[in-house]
Protein backbone atom coordinates (compact mmCIF):
# COMPACT_ATOMS: atom_id res chain seq x y z
CA UNK A 1 0.00 0.00 0.00
CA UNK A 2 1.84 3.09 -1.23
CA UNK A 3 -1.20 5.21 -1.85
CA UNK A 4 -4.20 6.12 0.19
CA UNK A 5 -7.38 8.03 -0.40
CA UNK A 6 -8.00 11.23 1.62
CA UNK A 7 -11.56 11.22 2.94
CA UNK A 8 -11.69 14.99 2.85
CA UNK A 9 -10.53 15.93 -0.64
CA UNK A 10 -11.15 12.37 -1.97
CA UNK A 11 -7.86 12.29 -3.88
CA UNK A 12 -5.48 9.34 -3.98
CA UNK A 13 -2.11 10.32 -2.49
CA UNK A 14 1.21 8.76 -1.45
CA UNK A 15 1.14 7.60 2.18
CA UNK A 16 3.83 10.12 3.20
CA UNK A 17 1.14 12.76 2.74
CA UNK A 18 -0.70 11.38 5.78
CA UNK A 19 0.14 11.92 9.42
CA UNK A 20 0.53 8.85 11.59
CA UNK A 21 -2.22 7.79 13.96
CA UNK A 22 -1.47 4.72 16.02
CA UNK A 23 -5.10 4.43 17.04
CA UNK A 24 -6.16 3.54 13.49
CA UNK A 25 -5.84 0.10 11.90
CA UNK A 26 -3.60 1.24 9.03
CA UNK A 27 -1.66 3.57 11.35
CA UNK A 28 -2.56 6.65 9.32
CA UNK A 29 -4.93 9.60 9.56
CA UNK A 30 -8.04 9.63 7.34
CA UNK A 31 -7.32 13.08 5.96
CA UNK A 32 -4.17 14.12 4.13
CA UNK A 33 -1.74 16.52 5.83
CA UNK A 34 -2.84 19.44 3.67
CA UNK A 35 -6.53 18.93 4.48
CA UNK A 36 -5.80 18.57 8.19
CA UNK A 37 -3.74 21.76 8.24
CA UNK A 38 -6.43 23.71 6.39
CA UNK A 39 -9.02 22.38 8.80
CA UNK A 40 -6.93 23.33 11.81
CA UNK A 41 -6.46 26.90 10.58
CA UNK A 42 -10.20 27.39 9.92
CA UNK A 43 -11.05 25.88 13.32
CA UNK A 44 -8.64 28.23 15.05
CA UNK A 45 -10.10 31.26 13.25
CA UNK A 46 -13.61 30.17 14.20
CA UNK A 47 -12.67 29.78 17.85
CA UNK A 48 -10.87 33.12 17.93
CA UNK A 49 -13.88 34.93 16.48
CA UNK A 50 -16.18 33.23 18.96
CA UNK A 51 -13.95 34.18 21.89
CA UNK A 52 -13.75 37.78 20.63
CA UNK A 53 -17.53 37.97 20.26
CA UNK A 54 -18.13 36.55 23.67
CA UNK A 55 -15.61 38.82 25.40
CA UNK A 56 -17.44 41.71 26.97
CA UNK A 57 -15.32 44.03 29.14
CA UNK A 58 -18.37 45.26 31.08
CA UNK A 59 -19.51 41.73 31.90
CA UNK A 60 -15.95 40.70 32.74
CA UNK A 61 -15.67 43.62 35.18
CA UNK A 62 -19.01 42.66 36.75
CA UNK A 63 -17.91 39.02 37.07
CA UNK A 64 -14.67 40.01 38.75
CA UNK A 65 -16.56 42.35 41.15
CA UNK A 66 -18.95 39.52 42.03
CA UNK A 67 -16.06 37.16 42.72
CA UNK A 68 -14.45 39.77 44.93
CA UNK A 69 -17.66 40.46 46.85
CA UNK A 70 -18.34 36.77 47.39
CA UNK A 71 -14.91 35.81 48.61
CA UNK A 72 -12.67 38.86 49.07
CA UNK A 73 -10.06 36.93 51.06
CA UNK A 74 -9.56 34.33 48.34
CA UNK A 75 -9.29 37.02 45.64
CA UNK A 76 -6.80 38.91 47.80
CA UNK A 77 -4.71 35.75 48.42
CA UNK A 78 -4.50 34.89 44.75
CA UNK A 79 -3.50 38.47 43.86
CA UNK A 80 -0.91 38.60 46.64
CA UNK A 81 0.75 35.39 45.42
CA UNK A 82 0.69 36.55 41.79
CA UNK A 83 2.17 39.92 42.81
CA UNK A 84 5.08 38.29 44.65
CA UNK A 85 5.72 35.99 41.70
CA UNK A 86 5.86 39.04 39.40
CA UNK A 87 8.41 40.65 41.71
CA UNK A 88 10.50 37.45 41.52
CA UNK A 89 9.72 36.48 45.12
CA UNK A 90 7.80 33.26 44.56
CA UNK A 91 5.66 32.08 47.47
CA UNK A 92 6.32 28.45 48.42
CA UNK A 93 2.69 27.91 49.39
CA UNK A 94 -0.75 27.90 47.83
CA UNK A 95 -3.70 30.28 47.94
CA UNK A 96 -5.46 27.94 50.39
CA UNK A 97 -2.38 27.89 52.65
CA UNK A 98 -2.26 31.66 52.68
CA UNK A 99 -5.94 31.90 53.62
CA UNK A 100 -5.24 29.81 56.74
CA UNK A 101 -2.93 32.50 58.17
CA UNK A 102 -5.37 35.39 57.81
CA UNK A 103 -5.70 36.59 61.43
CA UNK A 104 -8.98 35.36 62.90
CA UNK A 105 -9.70 38.76 64.44
CA UNK A 106 -9.18 40.38 61.01
CA UNK A 107 -6.54 42.82 62.21
CA UNK A 108 -2.97 43.67 61.24
CA UNK A 109 -0.47 41.49 63.12
CA UNK A 110 1.62 44.59 63.97
CA UNK A 111 -0.60 47.63 64.55
CA UNK A 112 -3.93 45.78 65.10
CA UNK A 113 -5.68 47.97 62.55
CA UNK A 114 -8.85 46.32 61.20
CA UNK A 115 -8.32 45.12 57.61
CA UNK A 116 -10.42 46.42 54.74
CA UNK A 117 -10.78 43.68 52.14
CA UNK A 118 -12.76 45.38 49.43
CA UNK A 119 -10.65 48.46 49.03
CA UNK A 120 -8.08 50.02 46.77
CA UNK A 121 -4.67 48.33 47.06
CA UNK A 122 -3.18 51.63 48.23
CA UNK A 123 -5.55 51.98 51.16
CA UNK A 124 -3.46 52.00 54.35
CA UNK A 125 -5.79 49.41 55.90
CA UNK A 126 -5.52 47.05 52.91
CA UNK A 127 -4.11 43.64 53.92
CA UNK A 128 -0.72 42.82 52.46
CA UNK A 129 1.50 39.77 52.46
CA UNK A 130 4.75 40.31 54.34
CA UNK A 131 7.90 38.20 54.22
CA UNK A 132 8.78 38.31 57.94
CA UNK A 133 12.50 37.73 57.44
CA UNK A 134 13.62 38.99 54.04
CA UNK A 135 16.78 36.85 54.16
CA UNK A 136 14.74 33.63 54.38
CA UNK A 137 12.68 31.93 51.69
CA UNK A 138 9.04 32.90 51.46
CA UNK A 139 7.52 29.80 53.07
CA UNK A 140 4.28 29.91 55.07
CA UNK A 141 6.18 30.04 58.39
CA UNK A 142 7.97 33.15 57.13
CA UNK A 143 4.80 34.89 55.99
CA UNK A 144 2.33 37.10 57.80
CA UNK A 145 -0.45 39.43 56.85
CA UNK A 146 -0.03 43.03 57.89
CA UNK A 147 -1.63 46.27 56.77
CA UNK A 148 -0.36 48.26 53.83
CA UNK A 149 0.84 50.99 56.18
CA UNK A 150 2.96 48.64 58.32
CA UNK A 151 4.31 46.82 55.28
CA UNK A 152 5.45 50.12 53.78
CA UNK A 153 7.06 51.16 57.08
CA UNK A 154 8.73 47.80 57.74
CA UNK A 155 9.94 47.45 54.16
CA UNK A 156 13.08 45.22 54.27
CA UNK A 157 13.66 45.75 58.02
CA UNK A 158 13.21 42.98 60.57
CA UNK A 159 10.04 42.82 62.63
CA UNK A 160 11.85 44.06 65.75
CA UNK A 161 13.69 46.73 63.76
CA UNK A 162 10.39 48.15 62.56
CA UNK A 163 8.84 48.10 66.04
CA UNK A 164 11.89 49.86 67.53
CA UNK A 165 11.80 52.44 64.75
CA UNK A 166 8.14 53.16 65.52
CA UNK A 167 9.13 53.67 69.16
CA UNK A 168 11.96 56.03 68.13
CA UNK A 169 9.61 58.12 66.00
CA UNK A 170 7.16 58.24 68.88
CA UNK A 171 9.91 59.22 71.35
CA UNK A 172 11.39 61.92 69.09
CA UNK A 173 8.12 63.67 68.53
CA UNK A 174 6.94 64.51 72.01
CA UNK A 175 6.27 68.11 71.01
CA UNK A 176 4.21 67.20 67.98
CA UNK A 177 2.26 64.72 70.11
CA UNK A 178 1.52 67.34 72.74
CA UNK A 179 0.45 69.90 70.14
CA UNK A 180 -1.74 67.69 68.02
CA UNK A 181 -3.13 64.93 70.16
CA UNK A 182 -2.89 66.26 73.68
CA UNK A 183 -1.21 62.92 74.58
CA UNK A 184 2.27 63.10 76.03
Residues that bind Zn ion (CB under 5 A): 6, 8-9, 32, 35, 108, 110-111, 113, 147, 150
Closer to Zn ion by CB, 4 or 75: give it.
Answer: 4
Minimum Å gap between C-beta 58 and Zn ion is 36
Closer to Zn ion by CB, 85 or 170: give it.
Answer: 170
DSSP H or E run through 128: strand 127-131
Closest to 129 in 3D by CA, of 107, 97, 151, 161: 151
Helix (H, G, I), strand (E, B) or coil at 54: helix
Closer to Zn ion by CB, 113 or 116: give it.
Answer: 113
Alpha carbon distances (Å) from 105 to 79, 125, 143, 145, 155: 21, 14, 17, 12, 24
Minimum Å gap between C-beta 165 and Zn ion is 14
Minimum Å gap between C-beta 147 and Zn ion is 3
Minimum Å gap between C-beta 36 and Zn ion is 8
Minimum Å gap between C-beta 110 and Zn ion is 5
Minimum Å gap between C-beta 157 and Zn ion is 14
Closer to Zn ion by CB, 98 or 150: give it.
Answer: 150
Closer to Zn ion by CB, 98 or 110: give it.
Answer: 110
Can you give 130-174 as a three-state secondary structure string? Answer: EECCCCCCCCHHHEEEEEHHHHHHHCCCCHHHHHHHHHHHHHHCH
Bridge-based pairing state of the strands 127-131 and 143-147 = antiparallel
Query: What's the CA gap between 29 and 2, in Å, rounded?
Result: 14
Closest to 30 in 3D by CA, of 7, 14, 3: 7
Closer to Zn ion by CB, 41 or 137: give it.
Answer: 41
Amino acid sequence: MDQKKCYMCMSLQPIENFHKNIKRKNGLQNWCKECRNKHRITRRKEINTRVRERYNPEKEKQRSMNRRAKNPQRVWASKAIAGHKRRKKPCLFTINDLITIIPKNNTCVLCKKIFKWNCNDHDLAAPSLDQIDCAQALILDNAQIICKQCNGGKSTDTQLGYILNCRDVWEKHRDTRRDQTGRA
